Copies of this chain bind each other. A is one copy, B any other.
Amino acid sequence: MQIEPSPLARPFPQLPAISGVALRVARARYKDWDRCDLTFAELTEGTAVAGVFTKSACASSEVELGREQVKAGRARALIVNAGNSNAFTGYRGREAVEAIQAQVSSALGCEIDQVFVSSTGVIGVPLPIDKARAGIAAALEAELCGWDEATNAIGTTDTFAKGAGASAMIGATRVELAGIIKGSGMIAPDMATMLGYIFTDADVAPAFLQDALERANAVTFSCITVDGDTSTSDTVLAFATGKAGNARIENWNSPGADAFAAALADVCRQLAQLVVRDGEGASKFITIRVSGAADDDSARRVALTIANSPLVKTAIAGEDANWGRVVMAVGKAGEPADRDRLSIAFGGIWTAKNGLPVDNYDEAPVAAHLKGEEIDIAVDLGLGEGRAVVWTCDLTHGYIAINADYRS
């Protein structure tokens, strides 16, 4: 977190301790950073796990293994390496992950496939096994730490630490959720380029946790974009330790299932929005609401096409209510649309309705809205009942400076 925080940054929240989760950090020295870069979360026996991963065809070994591991549904440890993504490193990358799993499973006396590993950073350099091994040894000896330290240790180009919490009542038992996340560039759905971890003391069956996480993902992490670029390492994992002592949630008919799922989705939404708030070069947080689409999937694709349009993003950076560029983006989305039914609003003021500019609409509140940090674009396609909401940020000189000046 060496550089200026994003103007859209939020303070790190107070997060509850989650019973059954022990956090430690250490210095593996993957890069020349004067900070911890290895995070170790020890999870109590019986912890349920669920995960969603990048859809990249060139995913890292961590992702390939993680996709398999979540199927068994149990976790005892999470290790996150920052500064080296270990992606595109072939068999050598896989050996590094397996070495970490062997060391941790031996230390904790657990199955190898209960040790989850994530790595983030430069692509194409195999994770140095000796550094990982020394880092894990140090972490095993380290004092327990808090959420803020763990969050700082998983960050790479992040300009601020990002966390979110929630709680839910399951019968008479209150359960807590705490989530942390890293990510600020190479962000697009399926999933956004990021590593996110949600911990809860709730007692939840793995299959239900997976289903609830996938549903939350569909309307949160899969609805954000910074630059339309998708990482090879994106991962969101949810861990449920069961220490709260609630009546176990087995499925959607279990008491408290909806409350728990809502709290999980709430944490996911907060974390997803924080990633956009740390979007590289972001100066505006943009909410794009599409309604009247043929169906919800179509609405989401139209919203993402608007959100990824460089011309729309630069117009917002320039505080310009350029609805013509929104029309352009709707037109190129490849989804059902009818020019003569299309309506567009900025900040709740309709500037175009049913395929025509609105004559003499009040420009003053639109201009005032665009000068703010929170921009709202609404698009109604006038065709059906499909809706979606997507979050993105503007495209500024800051993005170019960060990404053209960065050296691999």
Contact = CB atoms under 8 A, between A and B. Distances in A.
Interface string A47-90: 00000001111110000000000000000000000000101111
Q: Which of A309, A335, A354 has the most CB of B within 10 A?
A: A309
Contact of A57 (B321, B335, B352): B335
A245 interface: no
B408 A400 contact: no
Nearest to A185: B311
A328 B57 contact: no
B57 A339 contact: yes
Nearest to A312: B229
Contacts of A92: 356
User: How many monomers of this protein are in the complex?
Assistant: 2
Interface in A330-359: 330-340, 342, 352, 354-357
Contact of A320 (B325, B339, B406): B406
Contacts of A335: 57
A407 B318 CA distance: 8
Interface string A291-329: 000000000000000001111001101101111110111
A16 interface: no
B408 A324 contact: yes
A124 interface: yes
Contact of A59 (B309, B317, B339): B339
A110 interface: no
A230 interface: yes
Interface stretch (A27-35, A132-140, A391-399): A391-399
A354 B89 CA distance: 10
A122 B315 CA distance: 14
A4 interface: no
Interface residues of A, number: 72
A279 to B, nearest CB: 11
A328 B232 contact: yes
Nearest to A396: B400
Q: Which of A231, A308, A395 has the most CB of B within 10 A?
A: A395
B396 A404 contact: yes
Nearest to A324: B123
A310 B229 contact: yes
A141 interface: no
A89 B318 CA distance: 24
Contacts of A325: 123, 229, 408
Contacts of A320: 404, 406-408
B122 A332 contact: no
B406 A328 contact: no
Complex A-B, nearest 10 residue pairs according to Cβ-Cβ distance, in ascending order: A123-B324, A58-B331, A56-B331, A314-B403, A230-B332, A318-B404, A322-B408, A57-B337, A317-B404, A58-B339
Contacts of A318: 403-407
A26 B127 CA distance: 65
Contacts of A314: 399-400, 403-404
